[in-house]
Amino acid sequence: MATNRVVLIVVDALRFDTACSHMGYMQHLVESGVAARYQVRSEVPALSRPLYETILTGTPPIVHGINSNRTVRLSTQQSLFHLAKSSGKKTAAAAYHWVSELYNSAPFNVMEDRIQLDTGLPIENGLFYFEDHYPDSHLFAEASWLLEQKEPDFLYIHPMNVDDDGHKFTADSKEYRNRVLSVDALLSVFLPLCKERGYDVIVTADHGMTADGNHGGNTAEDRHVPLFVLSDKVAAAVSDELVSQLEIAPLVCRLLEIEPSEAMVPLTLEGCR
């Protein structure tokens, strides 16, 4: 049953090749004809804060102006939160505090801004963490609470532990690969809850991670990330095309059945119905 509601999950620093080799549950959904899988090429610089803004507004850094992780200010663009809210839909997020700084309040006050519920802000219901090692398991528990208690039309979820272990141990480490396995296990519990409630689900990443334990450059390891889509509006198949990260925001708009912003690129994603 389609309800025009979307859960967007951005697994920080999840490389495309590691997602394909270590996310057994997600691959099961692909092989079972439930999910579509694409390879996305992120914008550059392949850094977190600029790419959060790119994913959520559909605009590149040259347009949105968030060019580094040190740029701390509210977005000047129409984000998916703004667009959903102006269309009468409810918004929510369980995410890193930089997301709050982009769309709700900047700079983030750790004593006041961690829990933001029933606000008139673009993210109406937000649970924000501010330490990179904050457990992904806790974050998905909070997302489940938002799903059940607030019933948002658009829910954004952003776990950080893959990125944290990548920086500590590099992408060429058992710790990084095992953390990807752990996120996959969390998704195997959480995604069925989303589907039971009629949500379409997108799982992707902002950027990748290198064997040096960093990201920001122009290599495939820095830039190539997965895109899994669970929706009746997208054909369940494996696509060989390399997809622009700019297409994620208009894809969410298509699934929510709201108008994209004028700054977004046209949606040309293979398999969209």
Distance in angstroms (rounded) separating the CA atoms of residues 9 and 124: 17
0.95 exceeded by pTM:
yes
State how far the Cα of 39 lies from the Cα of 58, in Å rounded to an integer.
Answer: 17
Q: pLDDT for 133-156, tens place per residue? A: 999 999 999 999 999 999 999 999
Please answer whether residues 195 and 201 qualify as being in contact, where contact means their C-beta atoms are separated by less than 8 angstroms.
Answer: yes
| Cα-based distances in Å from 172 to 14, 154, 159, 177, 212 | 13, 34, 20, 8, 8
Q: Provide the CATH number for the domain formed by 5-256 in this structure.
A: 3.40.720.10
CA distance 67 to 249: 19
CA separation for the pair 272, 254 (Å, rounded): 9
Q: pLDDT tens-digit profile of 29-57? A: 999 999 999 999 999 999 999 999 999 99
Distances 188 to 93, 96, 185, 265 between C-alpha atoms, Å = 20, 22, 5, 32
Contact (CB, 8 A) for 100 and 126: yes
Is residue 79 scored above 50 in pLDDT? yes
pLDDT digits (tens, 9 = 90+) for 156-199: 999 999 999 999 999 999 999 999 999 999 999 999 999 999 99
SS (H, E, C) the chain: CCCCEEEEEECCCCCHHHHHHHCHHHHHHHHCCCCEEEEEECCCCCCHHHHHHHHHHCCCHHHHCCCCCCCCCCCCCCCHHHHHHHCCCCEEEEEEHHHHHHHCCCCCCCCCCCEECCCCCCCCEEEEECCCCCCHHHHHHHHHHHHHHCCCCEEEECCCHHHHHHHHHCCCCHHHHHHHHHHHHHHHHHHHHHHHCCEEEEEECCCCCCCCCCCCCCCHHHHEEEEEEECCCECCCEEEEEEEHHHHHHHHHHHHCCCCCCCCCCCCCCCEC
Tens of pLDDT, residue by residue over 90-113, are 999 999 999 999 999 999 999 999
Is 240's pLDDT higher than 90? no
Decide if 222 contacts 200 (C-beta within 8 A).
Answer: no
Is the pLDDT reported for residue 3 higher than 80? Answer: no
The chain-wide mean pLDDT, for the chain, equals 97
Contact 7, 194 (CB under 8 A): yes
Nearest Cα residue to 43 out of 273, 265, 272: 265
Q: Does the pLDDT value for residue 2 go beyond 70? A: no
Nearest to 79 by CA among 105, 115, 109, 55: 55
Residue with tokens 């689900």: 201
